[in-house]
Amino acid sequence: MTPKVTKKSAATRAHILETALGLFQEHGFEKTTMRMIAEACDLSLGAAYYHFKTKEELVLQFYAETGAEARSHNTTITAASKDFKTRLKALLQFKFTQMEPFRELASVLARQATDWRNPLSPFSAETRPMRDEAIGLIEEVLEGSNVKVSAPLRPHLAKMLWLYQMGVILFWMNDPSPEQRRTEELLDLSLALLHRLLQASTLPFMRRVNQSAVRIVELVEGLAPTEGEEP
Amino acid sequence: MTPKVTKKSAATRAHILETALGLFQEHGFEKTTMRMIAEACDLSLGAAYYHFKTKEELVLQFYAETGAEARSHNTTITAASKDFKTRLKALLQFKFTQMEPFRELASVLARQATDWRNPLSPFSAETRPMRDEAIGLIEEVLEGSNVKVSAPLRPHLAKMLWLYQMGVILFWMNDPSPEQRRTEELLDLSLALLHRLLQASTLPFMRRVNQSAVRIVELVEGLAPTEGEEP
DNA sequence: GCTATACTTTGAACAGGTTCAGAAAAAGAA
DNA sequence: TTCTTTTTCTGAACCTGTTCAAAGTATAGC
């Protein structure tokens, strides 16, 4: 899994990625050609493909790498406040800050999201580790926070919020307002709504709603393939 | 707008579309090449492109055409029952039946959904007519039904449900279970949940939640571009 | 050092979406 | 009918992602 440091490959991979990200930022994803990337690295086209099976894999790699950063930032977040909304907002905003220079790349990945069998989809079996990690971060944010939520819902809350996060990211990617101000408004609004809804979930009146909600999350989770499926 | 009947173009377009759909069904979207389509129509590649600017436009055209059928089916639906859940379920199921032979094509369109500036995205300015029509159908289903919902929410309900519909369709596209049984379960569950949530929205306790919900829908609506934007 | 093995790189191709200058056919004007 | 304009079609490219056999280079065991 982890390529030995002694292997030349690691350095070349890193170099290609770095170069590619620069070019993506400069010309955009579509207009940057694999030939450009290879040439900028003083490599042949084939060599570039030796290290990255597809152009999209470059993007995926970038995401994988931002993950580590986010994990470490998470401790800062949980230390700063116990408030659920504050924490979750900080978590999302950090992701946005991280990806800000590469907003377009986000939508490159999102494009794959709709076909869950696509290895690059955030819902695919192949990206499960990344997905689990992201859910893990949310779980960290939940633990020891002031969320009030119906007990049967609690075990599924992180997964639900991950789904919520996907939605917010989709909005963010498409937000043309300067500095994505609308995304911030959306964040505040939706977090408030979420908070109230979760509070409401503790009312006896809401038992049936909660049950359905849990089952729905399970269904969605069940669709995301875990092992190899269809030929 | 409406091409004169005398124009040869209309007939050729129709022929190309029909042929293409057949090939898509037989070989799948990716494996069907524009060259195959052209050849099957006894046309040159260039001619095919004269009628359809891109391969995806073929899919879009297909969708546009299923719209008419759905509109007429809607009267059947509203006549059959006044129950909100029953009607909405029927609406969605009809769409599924219609698209069943072309499930793969659905995901072809969905792929474009993530970039709202893409003309083929269901959120784009270009597809606004189709979107408005779909929302119109939902509105029809709501009118004269037994939905109970907080008054301030009511004017936005159809738009909200359209968003809901997008989610269900995404699920359906990725549902590998035979005959998409899970989608049916999801439908029943989520409709029940929706129903209860809408009922709950009439409680005074929910006023703030409702307000946020409305504003969120407005924000999302506001992102979907209406005129020409950016260069 | 020397060979066997594994890893990298090359260069040339392929495939399929898309474009385009100009030919052909159809429609209109006279 | 004949000439002009518009619509439709053709054939040959172009571009870019991807593949692959063969060649070059490093590494390890001896």
Reference B13, options B72, B89, B65, B69; nearest CA is B65
C-alpha distance from A187 to closest chain B C-alpha (Å): 9
Average pLDDT of the segment spanning A56-60: 95
| Nearest Cβ partner for B174 among A171, A176, A223 | A223
Q: Is B202 buried (19+), middle (13-18) or exposed (0-12) by CB count in 10 A? A: middle
User: pLDDT digits over B27-85, tens only?
Assistant: 999 999 999 999 999 999 999 999 999 999 999 999 999 988 999 999 999 999 999 99
Q: How far is CA B130 from CA A2, A33, A175, B54, B178, in A?
A: 49, 34, 22, 19, 30
Q: Do B189 and A230 touch (CB under 8 A)?
A: no
User: pLDDT digits over A113-141, tens only?
Assistant: 899 988 889 998 888 989 999 999 999 99
Q: How far apart are CA A149 and CA A210, in angstroms?
A: 10
The beta-carbon contacts of A225-231 under 8 Å, at least 24 apart in sequence, are: A225/A116, A225/A117, A225/A124, A225/A125, A225/B176, A226/A125, A226/A128, A227/A125, A228/A125, A229/A117, A229/A125, A229/B176, A230/A117, A230/B176
The DSSP letter of residue B202 is T
Q: Do A219 and B173 touch (CB under 8 A)?
A: no
Is the pLDDT reported for residue B169 higher than 70? yes
| Residues of chain A that touch chain B, judged by Cβ-Cβ distance less than 8 Å | 107, 110-117, 123, 170-171, 173-176, 182, 185-186, 189-190, 192-193, 196-197, 200, 205-206, 208-209, 212-213, 215-216, 219-220, 222-223, 225, 229-230
Average pLDDT of the segment spanning B75-100: 97
pLDDT of residue B6: 59
Reference B219, options A184, A35, A36; nearest CA is A184
Strand D, nucleotides < 7 Å from a protein CB: these are 7-13, 15-21, 26-28
C-alpha distance from A5 to closest chain B C-alpha (Å): 38
Reference B125, options B37, B229, B25; nearest CA is B229
The DSSP letter of residue A5 is T
The 3-class secondary structure across B73-136, one letter per residue, is HHHHHHHHCCCHHHHHHHHHHHHHHHHHHHHHHHHHHHHHHCCCCCCCCCCCCCCHHHHHHHHH
Chain B window 27-46, residues with Cβ within 7 A of nucleic strand C: 30-35, 45-46
Q: How far apart are CA B179 and CA B107, in angstroms?
A: 17
User: pLDDT digits over B180-216, tens only?
Assistant: 999 999 999 999 999 999 999 999 989 999 999 999 9
> Tokens 């006044």 sit at which residue?
B82
User: pLDDT digits over A173-203, tens only?
Assistant: 999 999 999 999 999 999 999 999 999 999 9
Our measurement of CA A35 to C1' C10, in angstroms, reads 14
Contacts with A157 (C-beta within 8 Å, 6 or more apart), sequence order: A142, A147, A149, A198
